[in-house]
Amino acid sequence: MRLGLTLPQFGPFSDPTLVPTVAAEAEALGFESLWTGERVHAATDPITPYPGGTMPEEFRSALDPLLVLTLAAHATTRPLLGTSTLSAPLHAPVHLARSLAGIDRLSGGRLIAGFGLSWSRDEYDAVAVPWRERGARLDETLDVLAALWSDDPVQHRGRFWTVTPGTFQPKPAQSHVPIYLGGVSPAAFRRIGRRADGWLGVAMPVPALRDVLASIAEQARQAGRGPIATAVRINAKLQATATDTPGTGPVEQLADHLHELAELGVEDAFVDLQFSTSTPAELLDTAARIRTAFQP
């Protein structure tokens, strides 16, 4: 299993000058993937509540994920570069296709395009996209990306977007950019089984994760498709006292959980330290301890 790290992006880490240094140091430490998320708008009084409680204050200052990946692509040579997640319906797909293709070429074909829907209705209102259309727009975004990244001449005609016949260059470096999708609902599992190369998961107890992976595998089987890869995000909170929460506890407990994920067949797990550290030095020191403790 590959071990990854999230890049500087939120709160005290929302400084683009930090990205190249942290990305290069993470590569030197042996991290095999680097990830970004997305926060388009942090409402003061959200229409929809943040999943699991109060929205972290760190989200009130955020860098654009594609900017962060561009900087990381230039500063590294080996780690995979992924989004977990980029809220696809908030973007015009032709712009998204061009930005992602450029990042894939700049990185030499290391991109994982990870998409989700966002929990925030305020974000949809901020970009004038109807909340009720979010699932359909994600589906059609995947159609547009597939069309634009295929052989020229390209074209697409759908419910939301029309791309008249033409050329789209340059294409991504990869002949097929891996598409990962997030979500834990039955509808999300069906979409993943039909359309995705991978699932963007979140830390959860191993029995629950095993059930989710089985559900996704069954959806893929019903769609006549092969195995679906998995990338699990762990929002780590290191402390001396052990807990039952994955990612919260001593480094050794986190390493044990990572080994459990590897035994389940998870291809990628990545750790987010932006909400439990406050400086680049502290983040990298903590990352080094995790990298040392987890030996695949």
Q: What is the DSSP string of the chain?
A: -EEEEEPS-BGGG--TTHHHHHHHHHHHHT--EEEE---S---SS-SSPPTTSSPPGGGGSB--HHHHHHHHHHH-SSSEEEES-EEGGGS-HHHHHHHHHHHHHHTTS-EEEEEE--S-HHHHHHTT--GGGHHHHHHHHHHHHHHHTSSSSEEEE-SS-EEEEE---SPPSSSS--EEEE--SHHHHHHHHHH-SEEEEE---HHHHHHHHHHHHHHHHHTT----EEEEEEE-EE-SS--SSTTEE-HHHHHHHHHHHHHHT-SEEEEE-TTT--SHHHHHHHHHHHHHH---
Structural domains of the chain sorted by starting position, each given as residue range(s) with its CATH number in brackets = 2-293 (3.20.20.30)
- Is pTM beyond 0.75 here? yes
At 168, is the pLDDT very low, low, confident or very high (cuts 50, 70, 90)? very high
Instruction: Read off the pLDDT of residues 17-73 as tens digits, 9 standing for 90 and up.
Output: 999 999 999 999 999 999 999 999 999 999 999 988 889 999 999 999 999 999 999
Instruction: Read off the pLDDT of residues 174-214 as tens digits, 9 standing for 90 and up.
Output: 999 999 999 999 999 999 999 999 999 999 999 999 999 99
